[in-house]
């Protein structure tokens, strides 16, 4: 007896074939995986690897990258000043002019340049993962080199726009106006504002690994909030202070005592304690469960 042949699809038949159950299941699983947010351990591991890569870089490479970031941050001052100069003087003007504050961060972060407040997070994660003295020494070296290079870059930028006649007088006045108020508050207030700034920057770094196409939006939103809220950022704020020093509107003593020291301490507390330690703790606790 001959076996019964399996039914075949005639070439004259129309309409879609029914997908196999195995293919449908595999396709659905792929779609689900595409929509599931990456876990905290993946973000942590991404930042840890980036931090270890940065710790392995030479001091000269870190210095050049930090110098580039400091120069780039100068465009935050320029963009904010230009917007303030051409917008009408109204109570709502800062809502738009503070968008310029994000420009320098966009250039530095998307350009993969070394910005000090980013380094507080990326460098400390490898140390928390290994807790070795050699790693701690590398972290201190990275922080010192990047911070110094950032400050040199911001000062050179401020020196250029403050001494050279690049902008019209009304724009120079706007630059003075947006640069003021960096150290009008007392030490505790500046410290607290700096903690919030360091916290927000470190949160931004924590968000970027899973951002994919939203990286630009995240950078703009976070840094815009820092600028609008008047939270003190050691590099962006130093650039404004340096501009005032160059044109004779501020002194080095006020910069060091009333701005630099409390802002640096606050940025470190915000970036390291509130994000790196908490992020590290949740990942380590998750591995133990």
* Domains within the chain, CATH numbers bracketed: 39-288 (1.20.1080.10)
Mean pLDDT, residues 256-277: 87
* Residue with more model confidence, 13 or 231: 231
Asked if residue 84 has pLDDT above 90, the reply is: yes
Cα distances (angstroms) measured from residue 26 to each of 18, 23, 33, 35, 81 = 15, 5, 11, 15, 54
Q: What pLDDT, on a 0 to 100 scale, did the predictor assign at position 32?
A: 47
Q: Are 93 and 84 in contact (CB under 8 A)?
A: yes
How would residue 281 be classed by pLDDT, with cut points 50, 70 and 90? low
**pLDDT at residue 234 above 90?**
yes
Q: Which residues contact 55 (CB under 8 A, 6 or more apart)?
A: 123, 126, 135, 138, 139, 142
Give me the chain's average pLDDT, please.
Answer: 84
| pLDDT greater than 60 at residue 188 | yes
Which among 41, 61, 189, 191 has a CA at the least distance from the CA of 114? 61
């Amino acid at each position: 007896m001959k076996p019964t042949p399996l039914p075949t699809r005639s070439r004259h038949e129309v309409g879609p074939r029914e997908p196999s159950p195995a293919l449908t299941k595999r396709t659905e699983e792929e779609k689900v995986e595409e929509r599931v947010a990456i876990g905290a351990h993946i973000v942590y591991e991404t930042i840890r690897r980036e931090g270890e890569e940065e710790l392995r870089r030479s001091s000269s490479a870190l210095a050049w990258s930090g110098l580039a970031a400091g120069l780039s941050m100068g465009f935050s001052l320029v963009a904010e000043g230009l917007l303030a100069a051409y917008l009408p003087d109204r109570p709502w003007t800062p809502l738009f002019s503070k968008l310029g504050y994000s420009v320098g961060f966009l250039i530095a972060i998307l350009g993969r340049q070394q910005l000090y407040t980013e380094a507080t997070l990326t460098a400390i994660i490898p140390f928390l993962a290994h807790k070795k003295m050699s790693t701690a020494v590398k972290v201190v070296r990275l922080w010192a080199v990047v911070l110094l290079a950032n400050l040199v870059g911001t000062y050179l930028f401020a020196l250029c726009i403050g001494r050279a006649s690049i902008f019209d007088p009304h724009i120079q006045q706007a630059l003075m106006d947006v640069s003021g108020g960096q150290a009008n508050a007392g030490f505790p207030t500046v410290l607290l504002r700096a903690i919030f700034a360091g916290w927000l920057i470190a949160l931004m770094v924590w968000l970027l690994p899973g951002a994919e196409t939203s990286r630009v939006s995240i950078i703009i939103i976070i840094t815009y909030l820092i600028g609008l809220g008047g939270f003190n950022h050691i590099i962006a704020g130093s650039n404004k202070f340096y501009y005032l020093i160059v044109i004779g509107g501020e002194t080095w003593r006020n910069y060091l005592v009333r701005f630099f020291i409390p802002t640096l301490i606050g940025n470190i507390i915000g970036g390291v304690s509130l994000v790196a330690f908490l992020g590290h703790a949740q990942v380590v606790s998750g591995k133990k469960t």
